[in-house]
Structure 1
Amino acid sequence: MNPSQATHRSAASNADASTIYRTRRDPDASATVSVIRAVAEVEDVTPGDLPVLGDVIDPEALDGVFEDGQRVGRSNARLSFDYCGYTVTVTEDVVTLDIR
């Protein structure tokens, strides 16, 4: 991930002290892949080292919220869930990790 795509934030340096990472979603990647990549980046591990995402959220349902054919009427969709000690928020364009 290049620096123009991701922003690391320290709690002391911004008004929203709980946000520690925010990245633009790759338009060619699913929401599930975007979440796994973001958490792996913050945790400094490979995606395979992370716990199974399916233990906390249905990956097919997550992807379905943001798929092109499923977005009609959902242009402002936002989905949040807890994973790996973070509150993960996914929108059509961004993945944000907040400290729980």
Structure 2
Amino acid sequence: MNNTFIGSTDNGFDESVSIAVVTAVSTRRDVSPTELPPLYEWIDPDALDALFKPTRRGGPRRGKLEFTYDGHDIAIECGDGLEITVDGTPMAEPMPAQTSGRQATR
């Protein structure tokens, strides 16, 4: 099983969190993402992405969200990096949290 996400770069995570969730579940099931039902039937993808966007100062968000998607328990944790867990199994090494590229001012 391949436990990597499409769209990760050395500079951080550049895919939306909602796409990463669908990718993680499809990886867990070993199916194409298009074979899964739409994520919006369980959670609003735009709201999910907004929760983990960088702060207005450009720093990463911190927090944890848990929900069910098509019978799978999903946990998304954002601290020093972004980690997505499906049914208790981390689906990739934590990736650096996305930042806006701006320097934070104090």
Q: Which of residues 25, 28, 38 in structure 2 aligns to 1:52?
A: 38
**Aligned partners of 2:57, 2:38: CA distance in 1, in Å?**
26
Verify: 1:98 aligned to 2:87, yes or no.
yes
Overall identity of the aligned pairs, in %? 35
Are residues 74 and 42 of structure 1, via their aligned partners in 2, closer, same or farther at CA, if it must alter by over 3 Å? same
Query: What corresponds to 1:34 in structure 2?
Result: 20
Structure with the larger RCO, 1 or 2 (CA within 8 Å, 6+ apart): 1
Are residues 70 and 84 of structure 1, via their aligned partners in 2, closer, same or farther at CA, if it must alter by over 3 Å? farther
Are residues 55 and 86 of structure 1, via their aligned partners in 2, closer, same or farther at CA, if it must alter by over 3 Å? same
Most deviating of 67-76 and 33-42? 67-76
Q: How many residues align?
A: 80
Quick check: 2:18–2:45 contact (8 Å CA) kept in 1? yes
> In the TM superposition, what whole-angstrom CA distance separates every residue of 1:39-81 from its partner, at most 9, and x where no partner exists?
0001111111001100000000000001124698984311111
Q: Which runs of 5+ in 2 are unaligned?
A: 89-106
TM-score, structure 1 normalization: 0.66
**Aligned partners of 2:76, 2:24: CA distance in 1, in Å?**
11
Q: Which of residues 42, 54, 69 in structure 2 aligns to 1:68?
A: 54
TM-score, structure 2 normalization: 0.63
**Aligned partners of 1:71, 1:65: CA distance in 2, in Å?**
15
Larger proportion of helix:
1
Are residues 90 and 75 of structure 1, via their aligned partners in 2, closer, same or farther at CA, if it must alter by over 3 Å? same
Quick check: 1:88–1:95 contact (8 Å CA) kept in 2? yes
